[in-house]
Amino acid sequence: MYAQTSTAPQVPGSSPRHPSVHPDSRHWTALTFAVLHEHISVVQLLLDAGAHVEGSAVSSSEDNYAETPLQLASAAGNYELVSLLLDRGADPLLNMLEAGGVSSSLHEDMNCFSHSAAHGHRNVLRKLLTQPQLCPGDVLSLEEILAEGVDSDTSSMDSANQGPVRLCKTRMKALQEATYYSAEHGYLDITMELRSLGIPWKLHVWIESLWTSFRQSHHSAMESLLQEFFTIREEDYNEELVNEGLPLLFNIFKTSKSDAVIQQVAAIFAHCYGNSPIPSIPEIQKALAARLDPHFLNNKEMSDVTFLVEGKMFYAHKVLLVTASNRFKSLMTIKSEQDKHGNKTIEISDVKYSIFQMLMQYLYYGGTESIQVPTVAILELLSAASQFQLNALQRHCEIICSQSISTDNSVSIYKYAKIHNAPELALFCEGFFLKNMRTLLGQESFTQLIYGRSSKVQGLDTLMDLQATLTNRVKDVYITSRV
């Protein structure tokens, strides 16, 4: 048999005159083919005869695209071959250390760790990790550790199992790449094991891993992943978080039966919303101008319109009401018809007398400055302002509600905002929900709002609205602001 040496001929490269039938195997050596076909005895023989353990990877040829034998054995998951090659000195990081290497069209320049992780070969990956690091001077600095989001005590086990050693930059990069491939191919156990070595989460890897744990109903992994979201740097939040991460988190929040999972997702919502204040509700700048002297307010002798509210009379003036809103204008039209039949009063239902009085006071004074609204009455005044189409007064009530919101009244305020078409107030409430969700989950009124059937009957889909609000918030705070 021909014994291969370190200078043994390789499969010729491709050229216009002699094109390669299999371009991905150009420059392969006999050892490479023996590993590919898993002929362990032949591999042993070739190595004993002096074949270079790295195959043709040590060649200085510029068109050398060949994988190393160890890469092929790692991809195949052949533990015995991997062990043999490692024992003979094969370097699992060789392709990452070769500065002039050219990417392979077949394997995208994947390192040995990535090959084993992408194919789910956990035992092979563990074996590769036992190989001593050949770059002891290439250790992450404190600044690099912080920049990568790695714990300062990040470590791996050395080959002699004599204790932890800090990962060098090259191995860290290789293992980060391996987590990408294990996550992409759904090998959650491998991804989590690599994380346990101190490999920091990248947002894409975290999202893919969470998807896998959710699909597989792997609850313990899901809880661990949710807890570790906070280790991802905010600088790395991007469109993938908006388009993939948030929909997944809301899906988990909606369907999970685990209180621990729901609480962890709620904590992520609050974190993503951020610590900055909820955007305030803007005033409506155009206010009413005073049309009549307040002396005319509810003056029986000087009025030409009479309302009946809760069995009590309230006196007003048509000249003011016809321009106040379309709702009042239509009431004045109804009054003209009633006058023909001798009916002098307009009955107002569903509004308390005290609330109607404040509403009229707003019209006569031409603004909100003269109104002192009791806290207990603010939602009723908001409802009345909406009913009578007094937009500036309604917005004034919305602002008061936003300033007095609490975990005790937020659900009631939100329902009023949705029912009475107050989108600015509803948006404010959604921001309040997101920031305080962990506390609110302890209240039955809130859980009924987001999970209860009655909310659907009322036309409310609070979780969908919360997702839209948080999506826009993340875009504004973490993405658009960087552009």
Question: Phi and psi (nearest 5°) for 139?
Answer: -95, 140
Residues in Cβ contact with 364 at an 8 Å cutoff, skipping those fewer than 6 apart: 290, 291, 292, 293, 294, 296, 297, 320
Instruction: Please answer whether residues 388 and 363 qualify as being in contact, where contact means their C-beta atoms are separated by less than 8 angstroms.
Output: no
- Is residue 227 a part of any domain in this protein? no
- Is residue 444 a part of any domain in this protein? yes
pLDDT in tens, 135-154: 655 555 545 555 555 554 44
Task: Report the pLDDT value the prediction gives residue 150, as an integer from 0 to 100.
Answer: 55
Say which amino acid occupies 130. T
pLDDT in tens, 424-461: 999 999 999 999 999 999 999 999 999 988 776 677 89
Calpha distance 86→109 (Å, rounded): 20
- Is residue 278 a part of any domain in this protein? no
- Is residue 235 a part of any domain in this protein? no
Q: What is the domain range of residue 415?
A: 294-482
State the pTM of this model: 0.82
The last residue of a domain, from among 144, 171, 199: 144
What is the number of other CB atoms lying within 10 angstroms of the CB of residue 423? 10
- Is residue 214 a part of any domain in this protein? no
What is the number of other CB atoms lying within 10 angstroms of the CB of residue 127? 18
By residue count, the chain amounts to: 483
Strands 305-309 and 312-316: antiparallel
Calpha distance 119→78 (Å, rounded): 11
Task: Report the pLDDT value the prediction gives residue 44, as an integer from 0 to 100.
Answer: 95
What is the number of other CB atoms lying within 10 angstroms of the CB of residue 238? 15
- Is residue 44 a part of any domain in this protein? yes
- Which tokens go with 392? 């500036």
- Is residue 92 a part of any domain in this protein? yes
Q: Domain holding 138: CATH number? A: 1.25.40.20
pLDDT in tens, 38-47: 999 999 999 9
Task: Report the pLDDT value the prediction gives residue 2, as an integer from 0 to 100.
Answer: 41
Task: Report the pLDDT value the prediction gives residue 139, as an integer from 0 to 100.
Answer: 55
Task: Give the angle subtended at the CA of 129 by the CAs of 138 and 65, to the nearest 5°.
Answer: 75
The last residue of a domain, from among 125, 144, 163: 144
The last residue of a domain, from among 144, 166, 193: 144
Say which amino acid occupies 89. G
Q: How many domains does the chain have?
A: 2
CA neighbor of 231 nearest in space, from 156, 151, 177, 152: 151
Residues of the chain where predicted confidence (pLDDT) is lower than 50:
1-9, 11-12, 14-15, 17-23, 60, 62, 97-107, 142, 152-165
Calpha distance 374→12 (Å, rounded): 90
- Is residue 155 a part of any domain in this protein? no
**H or E stretch covering 260:** helix 259-273
Task: Report the pLDDT value the prediction gives residue 28, as an integer from 0 to 100.
Answer: 78
- Which tokens go with 134? 């050949």
- Which tokens go with 155? 């470590």
Strands 345-348 and 305-309: parallel
Q: Domain holding 418: CATH number? A: 3.30.710.10
Task: Report the pLDDT value the prediction gives residue 344, as an integer from 0 to 100.
Answer: 74
Instruction: Please answer whether residues 368 and 396 qualify as being in contact, where contact means their C-beta atoms are separated by less than 8 angstroms.
Output: yes
CA neighbor of 356 nearest in space, from 308, 420, 404: 308
What is the number of other CB atoms lying within 10 angstroms of the CB of residue 433? 26
SS3 352: coil
